[in-house]
Structure 1
């Protein structure tokens, strides 16, 4: 009886901590999103073919397919570097549709990132990375300081399969070059192939560009290969993560007071998730139904 009493006290303490942090043990246990306060600022329903940005061919395009850093022209020497994340040990090359190396599939209403073994691996443009995949970012088309963003996404599981929806600060530009914006990053969700499991993470602004995330693993108890809505509220005081319009995590906002933009990607491999197994089924498909951004009344 005494042991049972101790266990009960521990459970109650854990539950109290979970409630204080803004999440619960059930996928729909948190507070509901108040949509009455949201004012539309950005909407992508993929009813038309995706509008991919290209510096020369489509400079007004909505979605960029590589990261902000490094050499931007795809065919330039080291042009592959902003099409993967070397520090993470990732194994994918994010293909450039303008170069005929697209990992995207589109049908009206859904954009799919279809990762697979790299059919262009012999081409130096890919740095011979073993997998071809895709990413989209709103770096050139939409950013916000305070507000709410969301996406309706379905994705595969499997070791080494690493889908994510995240936010980065808009880099400052000095003498025509984009500058390192520091260690700041908000991961609205990440998955590393574990069925039903998600990670909600933010990175504080630490000295000397130290990259150390404050992450929260969470078991959703549901099938993530089906569509779910993933959202993020950024206010002057708080960061709030949502899953299917319910709060799953809260954290104080000490560092995020600058414009942010969205990224959705399907990474493959890396030091965190490990490499895919030999029996992984390809293509591994991440489906994006829509992406939206809002201003919030009263902010």
Structure 2
């Protein structure tokens, strides 16, 4: 983070962007999830250091400015007079407690912005007290200044001429949102990533250009500076207090690696036909990083072999997104498939289901959503997380090829009890059913839950709605049940009691609500948040809408009575 001087000469640095593969079999060796406070592995630095920590920073660091709120570390920079300075903040390090050499270092962080605000997650050489800076080396995993659109990843060192040198990269990020910032550091290079996407790399192989510093132990730092040589000395105090949120910090070491399997149901080849670099894949899901770790360069597959009984689903983009192509037999050259030669980035290898094939949906590939976030998944790719009550996702053009019963499986994780997921179609007009999400012991500890739904053949917009939040979801799998496995008849809107077709949506709502039910007309009564009658009983038709623009915020109860039944719905005005 420190001592970046804009007048320093630019170092022309040799780095490689070739086909070097880094094993992705990472083994977690240290972490702080900030679940039960701040780990004792952190040491807090206080004061203003020497010359404002070498950068003429304007704040006084205090332990009190680092707290844990809802499982997140929060570093707060304040307009506060203390120790002769006008601002306070916090700076913490693992020096003397935890040191690391090589590996993957990452943190999930939401960064503050504002003129004069300078947050950072970085590393310093553990021998700094002996050799000083920059001879100890510095690795900036992520830095951001002011209101700039870019984040920065940089190394600083002392080159072969004993001269200060630095080399950095940058990429545009909405820093106020949570992102996972990481470096993958090996004996040959250091690579920078945002949410798993690489944006910068530097070679340190054999200490090239005097980079021997980066083959020693380093410790971690987190801090939020105010002012200094880089952001400048004009502070927008209207942006204070500024808060830096850290969900977790994790460190991994490279494992023994998963050797390229000698056999597998699917084999990828770089050239046509069935030649060049090859990778055999067992059943599973492979992201770009995982394929590269096995030796297959991105956008470099030209042919493949598929064993009988298996299928390979190729994806144009990473994390199983974008255009897809299913292969169930050998393909000597993908030039025969329009636009697919040297285009594959991720792949799913699976058995061909008996009977009708299952439909597999990556949860993060929603068409629309409210309230949720994507994050990196321990099972590869991404999952949908941070799901609260009333959040939802919609997946368009989901085809149910025939009427009848289907099993819907959900790959879920949760660290709390009480999560409930509801599934519906066509903007919630038909609720297919609910499933309870168990406490799996962690947000990335995955299990599969399922239920049976009944539906008419057709193409629908499939909706997932959080009746109760506190869960993550990785994928959805829909499988048609065989006729001999069920005695439930095909969905009939008049005869079936298994599907709840009374719906008031959207929920929560703003200016309008729509009401659907399984009858032509119904008598409706609406009660306001105080329990008083807001709308006297009146007859409405299914599909009617209500203007709610003049309703106050709060919880309302709608009672519908039709066909001798009474349905009560609880809705929320935001």
| Same fold flag (TM > 0.5) | yes
Counterpart for residue 260 of structure 1? 218
Name stretches of at least 5 consecutive residues in structure 1 with no aligned partner. Answer: 1-18, 23-30, 52-60, 67-73, 75-79, 121-125, 173-177
Q: Is 1:295 aligned to residue 253 of structure 2?
A: yes
Counterpart for residue 28 of structure 2? 40
What is the CA–CA distance in structure 2 between the aligned matches of 1:273 and 1:137, rounded to whole Å?
A: 22
Counterpart for residue 175 of structure 1? none
Sort the Cα spacing of 1:170 and 1:234 in 2 relative to 1 into closer, same or farther, 3 A.
Answer: same
Name stretches of at least 5 consecutive residues in structure 2 with no aligned partner. Answer: 1-14, 258-574
Q: Deviations over 1:167-193 (max 9, x none)?
A: 111127xxxxx3234411111111002
Matches within 5 A, 1:70-109: 80-82=47-49, 85-95=52-62, 97=63, 102-109=64-71
- Tell me how far 1:212 sits from its aligned partner: 2.9
- Pick one of 204, 210, 232 that aligns with 2:183: 232
Superposition CA RMSD, Å: 2.7
Q: What secondary structure, in the 3-state scheme, does the structure 1 residue paired with 2:108 have?
A: strand
Contact kept? 1:63, 1:137, Cα under 8 Å: yes
Counterpart for residue 135 of structure 1? 91
Q: What secondary structure, in the 3-state scheme, does the structure 1 residue paired with 2:131 have?
A: coil
Mark the structure with the bigger radius of gyration: 2
Q: Deviations over 1:213-270 (max 9, x none)?
A: 21223223xx211110000111000111111011111110132100011111101100
Q: Deviations over 1:47-83 (max 9, x none)?
A: 11214xxxxxxxxx311111xxxxxxx6xxxxx3548
Contact kept? 1:32, 1:246, Cα under 8 Å: no
Give the TM-score taking structure 2 as reference length.
Answer: 0.38
Matches within 5 A, 1:175-254: 178-183=129-134, 184-206=137-159, 210-220=163-173, 223-253=174-204, 254=207
Whichever structure has more helix as a proportion of its residues is 1
Higher relative contact order (CA 8 A, sep 6+): 1
Number of aligned residues: 233
Give the TM-score taking structure 1 as reference length.
Answer: 0.71
Contact kept? 1:239, 1:250, Cα under 8 Å: yes
Sort the Cα spacing of 1:21 and 1:286 in 2 relative to 1 into closer, same or farther, 3 A.
Answer: farther
Q: Deviations over 1:180-207 (max 9, x none)?
A: 3441111111100234311111113325
- Tell me how far 1:208 sits from its aligned partner: 7.3
Sort the Cα spacing of 1:295 and 1:83 in 2 relative to 1 into closer, same or farther, 3 A.
Answer: farther
Q: Is 1:65 aligned to residue 44 of structure 2?
A: yes
Sort the Cα spacing of 1:278 and 1:243 in 2 relative to 1 into closer, same or farther, 3 A.
Answer: closer
